[in-house]
Amino acid sequence: MFGLFKKKSELDKLQEQYKKLLEDSFKLSTTNRSKSDEKQVEAQAILDKIELLKK
């Protein structure tokens, strides 16, 4: 309850976005492989940003 109004950091936002992209990629992998690969590329770009922020 105390964290209810706490703003998310940039790192938290990127991690959520990365997780969502991976989930979307997994779901698409059974139906449309090329779109799944596109989501993987987007997720990798987000992961690179996360690594930069952690340094």
Q: Quickly list DSSP for 1-55.
A: -TTTTPPPPHHHHHHHHHHHHHHHHHHHTTT-HHHHHHHHHHHHHHHHHHHHHH-
Provide the pLDDT for residue 32. 93
**For residue range 14-54, what is the model confidence (pLDDT) as tens digits?**
999 999 999 999 999 999 999 999 999 999 999 999 999 98
Please, which pLDDT band fits residue 55 given cuts at 50, 70 and 90? confident
Please, which pLDDT band fits residue 8 given cuts at 50, 70 and 90? confident
Provide the pLDDT for residue 7. 82
**Does 1 score more than 70 pLDDT?**
no
Confirm if 44 and 2 have CB atoms less than 8 A apart: no
